[in-house]
Amino acid sequence: MDNISRVTIKAWAEADRPREKLLERGRRALSDAELLAILIGSGSRDESAVELCRRVLHDQGNDLNDLSRLSVIELCRYKGIGEAKAISIVAALELGRRRKAQKEEERPILNSSKRVYDHMEDVYRDLPDEEFWVLYLAGGCKLVARQLIGKGGNDFTPVDIKQVLRLALEHRATGIVLTHNHPSGTLKPSSMDVQLTRKLAEAATLLDLSVNDHVIFTNAGYYSFRDNGLL
């Protein structure tokens, strides 16, 4: 093995460094060994991080499933992998395992005001002040994220439209459901509620997003803009 192949990641040409490669070319451009090298950060005197990870993978038949079965103790048998690095590898592979095990159906489908109400009722129940939450939906109205946008007094919550839409783009949502509560108990939307909903709906259209509904919550029930023809 020559000296060039033994150098650390920091000494490589920038295009060859796994971290920089990921940033410049995306995660799919990296090999399994390069992704593992990012996790452990450095190798040993005899091997770069990528070389070390290639060797570890080779010993497991280049099978990530077999790699995921290794314990911290087994990983630590490799020169250059200490306990902290081994724990990082085990934790990353466990996240992958959990993601694979998580069923797509577990994401609630929020395609009606009643389903939105059932999903958020516990969040708004008995709140003394007003809160504004946005539900971000993917295709088929599957929930991908929900975000608290603002808190206010007992009759008003400031809402940043730019933040709502920025988060929609970050979550790659195709639809948005606006929700907030009225601690006063009134189910009638205020003029500010109507104005905000229209502004958000118009702005979302420019980004090829849709505001599916705006649901107002009280302890006694809910009001849907969609059901009442306001969207």
pLDDT mean for each 10 residues of the chain (231 residues): 48 65 86 93 87 94 91 94 95 86 74 96 88 95 93 74 94 96 91 94 94 95 95 90
Are 43 and 94 in a shared domain? yes
Name 217's bridge partners.
181, 222
A 10 A CB-CB count for 1 gives 8
**Is 229 within a domain?**
no
Q: What pLDDT score does 105 carry?
A: 54
Q: What pLDDT score does 52 carry?
A: 93
- C-beta of residue 148 within 8 angstroms of C-beta of residue 184: no
Are 215 and 110 in a shared domain? yes
Residues in the chain: 231
Residue 25, token pair as written in the block? 């070319």
Q: Identify the domain boundary among 69, 102, 135.
A: 102
Q: Identify the domain boundary among 102, 121, 156.
A: 102
- C-beta of residue 9 within 8 angstroms of C-beta of residue 18: yes
Are 18 and 79 in a shared domain? yes
pTM of the model: 0.59
Q: What pLDDT score does 152 carry?
A: 77
Handedness of CA 189, 192, 198, 199 (dihedral sign): negative
**CATH number of the CATH domain containing 217:** 3.40.140.10
φ, ψ for residue 107, nearest 5 deg: -70, 125
Segments in the chain forming alpha helices (H): 18-25, 32-40, 49-59, 64-67, 72-75, 83-101, 113-124, 161-170, 191-206
Q: Domain range holding 62?
A: 4-102
Q: Identify the domain boundary among 87, 102, 117.
A: 102
Q: What pLDDT score does 2 carry?
A: 45
Are 61 and 132 in a shared domain? no
Rounded to whole angstroms, how far apart are CA atoms 231 and 156? Answer: 21
Q: What pLDDT score does 1 carry?
A: 43
Q: What pLDDT score does 104 carry?
A: 54
Instruction: Write the Ramachandran bin of 134: left for phi over 0, alpha for psi from -120 to 50, otherwise beta.
Output: beta
Are 117 and 219 in a shared domain? yes
Instruction: Write the Ramachandran bin of 204: left for phi over 0, alpha for psi from -120 to 50, otherwise beta.
Output: alpha
